[in-house]
Amino acid sequence: MNGFRLKENMLIGSASAATQVDGGEIFHSWQDWYEKGKITDGTSPARANDHYNRWREDYAIMKELGLQICRFGVEWARIEPEEETFDEAALAHYREQLETLRTLGIKPLLTLHHFTNPMWFENKGGFEKEENIPAFMNFAQKTVEALGDLVEEYITINEPNVYALNGYFFGEWPPGEKSFSKMVKVMSVMTTCHILCYEMIHRVRREHGFDNTMVGFANHMRVFTPRNASNPVHVALARLSEKIFQKSITIACCTGKCPWPIKKIGTYKKGKYSDFVSVNYYTRSCISGLNSAFFDHVPKNDLGWEIYPEGIVQCAREMYKIMPGPVYITENGTCDNTDSFRCRYLYDHLKALCESELPVARYYHWCFTDNFEWLEGESARFGIVHIDYATQKRTIKKSGRFLAQVIKDSTVTEECYDIYVKNEKYNVL
Ligand code: BGC
């Protein structure tokens, strides 16, 4: 029997990040990375989806599909183009977006930092230096003071582990460093930033008379499986990778305790620093060495990532054990350039969540429109709405229609399964 029911009170929508959709020539770390020739398909974040000008059209499509929630981010470099110079027009612009979402009945969740830094911050050492924490906090506080009356739910920082690993250990993202100790330093500084931000957002909202605030960080989690479960080296390396990449930083950002390798920077106390279990989930890693790889002969997406639906529950459960609370899947989605298996992907991941014991309250699909996928630029499509980048024409995909149907019915019926999912197959590679 195919099909399932959504959890009671579970809301569904989509997630995005400013740099990936907004467009515009902004002096930030990813524009700089593009200018250094690092984007594999040569595309620039200055084009993206031109969402900064077309957001009304995008919100109208969200409404048409019945999306109930929308996670989106502000661009720090737009709000604070030079240190301590704030662009009031940019803040007013984001206010208008938030007001419109609320009028449409779509509940916003606001991300303050999603991978991108203004160049003035990058040039002074970014999150590698604890002396820079006040600069980040200044931006965060100014933004929350300007927009906070319109938003109840926040992500302080998106995926500090991915940011630190790609930018400071693999050297593939800005600023291109390859050093274990720098990676750990960045994770530690970001932990402090998250905790200070958590406290600041609650404080600012309380001062304005709001007590219904929910704050977390978007936690990239994956399953770490030894390539050969009876090889003790593989088993040990899988545990070690999991600890370094996600377990310690999850504990630190949720509780203020700092297990190795995270170092405590500053004077925060042990406590509760996450109001929801916030998981970004995409795939699982197969571990036999220090690099993460994928298993062979398993379902894969168009970037070669394994499609492993039960992992979404395993990861959310892991984080729930550390800090129980309502589960917000703050990102989940896949690169499917021709939209030929995304309905099945959605079905399998939502089904796993809805049939689990977890109190799943939000599911933000990554993402709404195809967008600028960091190193891969425009070449990797994750959206439920297709973008023709040259004309900026938006076209709802089959997967968008499927998600709309799931929201409308709060369930996937056998009939709906037959229409959207039955004939879709994953590539096994
Ligand atoms: C990031 C997104 C990204 C997505 C797909 C997540 O790690 O938060 O910005 O587009 O993965 O790669």
C-alpha–C-alpha distance, residues 16 and 369, integer Å: 9
Verify whether ligand 1 is closer than 6 Å to residue 280 (CB atom): yes
Mean pLDDT for 7-13 is 98
Q: What is the pLDDT of residues 216-268, one digit of tens each?
A: 999 999 999 999 999 999 999 999 999 999 999 999 999 999 999 999 999 99
396-403's contacts with Cβ under 8 Å and 24+ in sequence apart are: 396/61, 396/64, 396/65, 397/339, 397/342, 398/339, 398/342, 398/343, 399/336, 399/339, 399/342, 399/343, 399/346, 400/65, 401/65, 402/343, 402/346, 402/347, 403/12, 403/65, 403/67, 403/346, 403/365
Verify whether ligand 1 is closer than 6 Å to residue 159 (CB atom): yes
Question: Do the Cβ atoms of 392 and 319 come closer than 8 Å?
Answer: no
Verify whether ligand 1 is closer than 6 Å to residue 17 (CB atom): yes
Mean pLDDT for 307-332 is 98
Mean pLDDT for 322-342 is 98
Cα 230 to ligand 1 centre (Å): 33
* Tokens representing residue 20 in the block: 């990936």
Q: What is the pLDDT of residues 138-169, one digit of tens each?
A: 999 999 999 999 999 999 999 999 999 999 99
Question: Do the Cβ atoms of 112 and 72 come closer than 8 Å?
Answer: no
Question: Do the Cβ atoms of 20 and 113 come closer than 8 Å?
Answer: no
Mean pLDDT for 404-424 is 98
Query: Do the bridges between strand 360-365 and strand 327-332 make them parallel or antiparallel, or are there none, so unpaired?
Result: parallel
Mean pLDDT for 411-427 is 98
Give pLDDT, residue 291: 79
Mutate to test the pocket of ligand 1, among 39, 285, 342, 374 (most ligand atoms within 8 A of CB): 374
| Helix, strand, coil % over all residues of the chain, rounded to 5 | 45, 20, 35
Verify whether ligand 1 is closer than 6 Å to residue 107 (CB atom): no
Give pLDDT, residue 169: 97
Verify whether ligand 1 is closer than 6 Å to residue 162 (CB atom): yes
Residue 24 reports pLDDT greater than 90 = yes
**Residue 292 banded pLDDT, cuts 50, 70, 90:** confident
Helix (H, G, I), strand (E, B) or coil at 304: coil
Cα 334 to ligand 1 centre (Å): 10
Cα 239 to ligand 1 centre (Å): 24
Atom of ligand 1 nearest to the CA of 373: 10
Verify whether ligand 1 is closer than 6 Å to residue 247 (CB atom): no
Nearest CA to ligand 1 atom 5: 373
Give pLDDT, residue 1: 82
Verify whether ligand 1 is closer than 6 Å to residue 31 (CB atom): no
Mean pLDDT for 56-73 is 98
CA nearest to 286, candidates 263, 258, 259, 305:
305
C-alpha–C-alpha distance, residues 140 and 210, integer Å: 18
C-alpha–C-alpha distance, residues 216 and 330, integer Å: 10
| Gyration radius (Cα) of the chain, Å | 20
Cα 208 to ligand 1 centre (Å): 33
Helix 180-207 crosses helix 248-255 at what angle (to 10 degrees)? 20
Per the DSSP assignment, residues forming a β-bridge with 28 are 118
Cα 231 to ligand 1 centre (Å): 32
Q: What is the pLDDT of residues 166-183, one digit of tens each?
A: 999 999 999 999 999 999
Query: Do the bridges between strand 292-293 and strand 277-287 make them parallel or antiparallel, or are there none, so unpaired?
Result: antiparallel
Nearest CA to ligand 1 atom 10: 373
Cα 207 to ligand 1 centre (Å): 34
Verify whether ligand 1 is closer than 6 Å to residue 336 (CB atom): no
C-alpha–C-alpha distance, residues 112 and 182, integer Å: 23
Peptide bond connecting 309 to the previous residue in cis, omega within 30 degrees of 0: no
Mutate to test the pocket of ligand 1, among 302, 366, 371 (most ligand atoms within 8 A of CB): 366
% of the chain exceeding 90 in pLDDT: 99
Nearest CA to ligand 1 atom 12: 373
Atom of ligand 1 nearest to the CA of 220: 7
